[in-house]
Amino acid sequence: MSWSKDKGRGHGPGEEEGRRGYHHGNLRETLIKAALDLIGEKGPGGFTFADAARWAGVSPAAPYRHFRDRDALMADVARQGFERFEAFLKTAWNEGRPDPFTAFNNLGKAYLAFARTEPAYFAAMFEAGIPLESNPELRQAGDRAFGILRSAAEALAEGLPKEGRPPASMMALHIWSISHGIASLFGRGDAARRKLPMSPEELLEAAVLIYLQGLGLHRQGGTKPR
C-alpha cells in the first residue's frame, strides 16, 4: 500500500506523510532513500526498520516485500555505496594516467571526496557493522572497490626492485588505512568532521608521500639512489 500527503496520519518531528514520494513499483529504492535520510539525521544505528517504513510513507509490513529485516536493508544501502565508491575511484585512477604518482594522488582525493559528498553511504559502508560473511553481494562490491586500490599499488610497486619488493596487497592495505583514517576523522561530510590547520587532501598527500618514500619510491616513479 502507499500513502498520500492528504491522508493517513499526522506528522512527527522530521517526518512527513509520503515524503519519499512512494508509488507502486519503486518501494525498494524508496526504502533505500529513506534509510539514507535517516542515516544522515540519526546515524546508521539510530533508527529501526519501522522508522524506515514510516519515513518512506508505507505501512510497517511493506518493507518485508523486499528486505527480510533492517540489516538486509542496510546491507543493500552499503552495497550501493560501494558501487558508487568504485566509480569514484575508477574515474580518479584513470588506469594510472597521466602517471602512477599523479593518478595515485587523484585516488586519495577521490576517497576524501566520497566521504565528504556521500556521508550517509560512507557511514552505511563502514560504520553499520553489517557482517560481510552473510552478505556476499556486499562483500563482492567492497572487493571490487578495493581492487582499484590494489591495482594502483601494483603499478607503483613496479618502480621498486623485484628483490625485497613489498606485496602490492599489503601496500594497498596500508594506503587504504591511511586514507580511511584521514577521511573518517577530517574529511567527512557530517558534523563528526574534526578541524585541521590544513586541508584533508594536503594531509593525505603528505602521509602517502612519506609512506612511498619510505619504500624507496619518489614522484618520478623510480627509486632513490642507493
Mean pLDDT over residues 204-216, rounded? 93
- How large is the average pLDDT for residues 146-166? 92
The residue among 25 and 14 whose pLDDT is bigger is 25
> Which pLDDT band, with edges at 50, 70 and 90, does 209 fall under?
very high
Yes or no: say if 166 and 217 are a contact pair by the CB < 8 Å rule.
no
Name 72's Cβ contacts closer than 8 Å, sequence gap at least 6: none
Q: What's the confidence (pLDDT) of residue 134? A: 86
> What's the DSSP call for residue 217?
B
Mean pLDDT over residues 192-204, rounded? 89
Q: Sorting pLDDT into bands at 50, 70 and 90, what band is 25?
A: low
Query: How much is the pLDDT for 159?
Result: 86
Cβ(184)–Cβ(202) below 8 Å: no
**pTM recorded for the entire structure:** 0.82
The residue among 130 and 222 whose pLDDT is bigger is: 130
Cell representation of residue 226: 642507493
pLDDT, the chain, mean: 85
Burial class (CB in 10 A: 0-12, 13-18, 19+), 145: buried
Counting Cβ atoms within 10 Å, is residue 158 exposed (0-12), middle (13-18) or buried (19+)?
Answer: middle
Please give the residue that has the higher pLDDT: either 12 or 25.
Answer: 25
Full set of structural domains in the chain with CATH:
25-67 (1.10.10), 77-215 (1.10.357.10)
Question: Model confidence over 99-138: pLDDT tens digits?
Answer: 999 999 999 999 999 999 999 999 999 999 998 888 999 9
Of 191 and 13, the one with more pLDDT: 191
More confident residue, 178 or 10: 178
Among the residue ranges 79-88, 128-137, 184-193, the one predicted with the least confidence is 184-193
| CA distance readout (Å), 27 to 20, 30, 67, 138 | 10, 5, 11, 20
